């Protein structure tokens, strides 16, 4: 490995806002709304089976939520407000991992982009590596544009449901990947792994999915 160490690379970033965050989501609700907003099921089937969703929309000033057309928000805003865990149940127990994951000192500032670019399959574990790589891609960029970009600078990138969170955590902690020998930050992949794993463990503990958001 070549280049700066991780501690050296983070010098000067203290106090800056995270470029990306991982947020807890209601896994099944988020997935159902994605399906409704991409034509895989009807909105009425989602709303009629979720009293908590009805209450949340009503609390946000949406008096008529029986049809998608009756809700004036764009698709991304509807997905975000409906699918996020809020209050105490939405808090991640990850400590400094939020900042270390959120403002990565390389390239475009995305820790996931760095990990995806610089991990490699260990010898004889190509299929296991493919599972890791696919899960990382889903978390990094899974939403079509109309579900990704919303009002007030909202930018959601990718997400994992509860089972996918568990699968990625298990596969990451196994010997299913290795850093490239020439990765530019000494210990960079291991650092991303450490802080991503903290988010995955917290989400699994709370039986939640994870959503990746970018911030300008």
Six-digit token string for 80: 């975000």
Same domain, 20 and 32: no
Residue 110 forms beta bridges with which residues? none
* C-beta of residue 203 within 8 angstroms of C-beta of residue 14: no
Sign of CA dihedral 94, 209, 17, 191: positive
Say if 1 falls within a structural domain.
Answer: no
Same domain, 73 and 12: no
**Domain around 65:** 28-83
The domain boundary, picked from 17, 48, 83, lies at 83
Same domain, 103 and 136: yes
Tell me how far apart the alpha carbons of residues 86 and 103 are, in angstroms, rounded to a whole number. 23
Say if 197 falls within a structural domain.
Answer: yes
Same domain, 144 and 203: yes
pLDDT in tens, 104-121: 989 888 999 999 999 999
Tell me how far apart the alpha carbons of residues 26 and 119 are, in angstroms, rounded to a whole number. 30
Say if 34 falls within a structural domain.
Answer: yes
Same domain, 77 and 141: no
Q: How many domains does the chain fold into? A: 2
Reported pTM: 0.88
Same domain, 22 and 69: no
Say if 123 falls within a structural domain.
Answer: yes
Same domain, 118 and 202: yes
pLDDT in tens, 14-31: 545 458 999 999 999 999
- Other Cβ atoms within 10 Å of 119 Cβ, number: 22
């Amino acid at each position: 490995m070549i280049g700066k160490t991780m501690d050296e690379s983070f010098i000067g970033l203290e106090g800056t806002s995270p470029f990306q965050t991982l947020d807890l989501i209601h896994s099944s609700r988020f997935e159902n709304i994605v399906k409704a907003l991409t034509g895989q099921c009807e909105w009425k089937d989602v709303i009629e089976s979720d009293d908590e969703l009805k209450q949340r929309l009503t609390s946000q000033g949406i008096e008529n939520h029986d049809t998608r057309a009756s809700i004036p928000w764009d698709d991304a805003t509807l997905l975000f407000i409906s699918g996020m865990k809020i209050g105490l149940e939405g808090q991640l127990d990850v400590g400094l991992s939020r900042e270390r994951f959120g403002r990565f000192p390389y390239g475009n500032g995305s820790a996931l982009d760095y990990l995806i670019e610089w991990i490699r399959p260990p010898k004889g574990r190509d299929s296991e590596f493919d599972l890791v790589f696919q899960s990382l891609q889903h978390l990094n960029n899974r939403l079509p544009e109309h579900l990704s970009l919303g009002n007030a600078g909202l930018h959601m990138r990718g997400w994992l449901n509860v089972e996918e969170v568990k699968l990625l955590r298990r596969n990451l902690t196994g010997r299913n990947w290795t850093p490239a020998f020439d990765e530019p930050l000494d210990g960079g992949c291991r650092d991303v792994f450490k802080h991503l794993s903290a988010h995955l463990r917290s989400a699994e503990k709370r039986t939640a999915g994870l959503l990746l958001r970018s911030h300008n």
